[in-house]
Structure 1
Amino acid sequence: METNAHQAPFRPPVDRVGFLLSQVGAYASARFAERLAELDVQPSDVGLLRMIAVEPGLSQQALAGKLGVVPSRVVALVDALERKELVTRTRSTTDRRTHELHLADRGRDVMTQMRRIGREHENDLVAELDEEERQTLGRLLARIAAAHDLDPEVHPGYRASRR
């Protein structure tokens, strides 16, 4: 245990897991935002783009349901993505009241780069862990998230904006 004449021995704060999760989460979020800046996207854009990439033609209303937000919130989010030329919004040919969302060419390019950035970010975050520890950490965090009804596909910040 490390110590010097002016400090008490270092003790990892294992009894403060919430604090550690918050600290690592804040660091991870800030670092991810820094990495994405080169693409002119925000972390909040990542989940939206991923959902649209996975389900081309997704309606704004369906996206609102997946995010757990009111449809008017999605309009503002999609407007921002359109301004950045990341998505296109077109009227549905089967229901003219509905707008379908698709990745634009730039959106597809950004998705490719975001995947690379995401992999690098994940690897950097857990660089101090061996593969078994990484797997264990992932399982434990997934279990905690599930116990609190957190959706692994949706950032909790979207759900908070529904209130």
Structure 2
Amino acid sequence: MSRFELDPQLARDCVVVGDFPVCRLLLMNDSQYPWFILVPRVQGVEEIYQLDETDQQQLLFESSYLAEMLQVLFSAEKMNVAALGNVVRQLHVHHVVRYSTDAAWPAPVWGKHPARPYTDEALSEVMQKLKKSISDMPSFQWAHTDV
């Protein structure tokens, strides 16, 4: 079995938060939107149907858990959850918290505005907020122990 490697563009554009049992959780480094990405840690997979049935079910669980948590945590008006893969082929599922007042509303966030990277302080705030919410999932492994 091949060792999992994160697509280079995802690695450049995101901050690694940690790992659920199947997926790596990333934070898109764009402070305009709370925007998270789940990437199944299975090398060479581009589509959900390419995962085995157990991993498909776990991906759905992790995605649903994340979407609900983000909805509550950020008081989302709408959650955008999507797996496109037109630019980055590696299977990844976007979870974007949306508000009718955000910079791209009502359009999709992709390519609408240049990214505005998080400041160190804002990134720390988001991570602390996540830490409080994900603490009820003992199988989650944080990428950074200082979170």
TM-score normalised by structure 2 residue count: 0.28
Greater relative contact order, per chain length (Cα 8 Å cut-off, separation 6+): 2
Report the structure, 1 or 2, having the larger strand content: 2
Q: Identify, as 1 or 2, the structure richer in helix.
A: 1
Higher Rg: 1
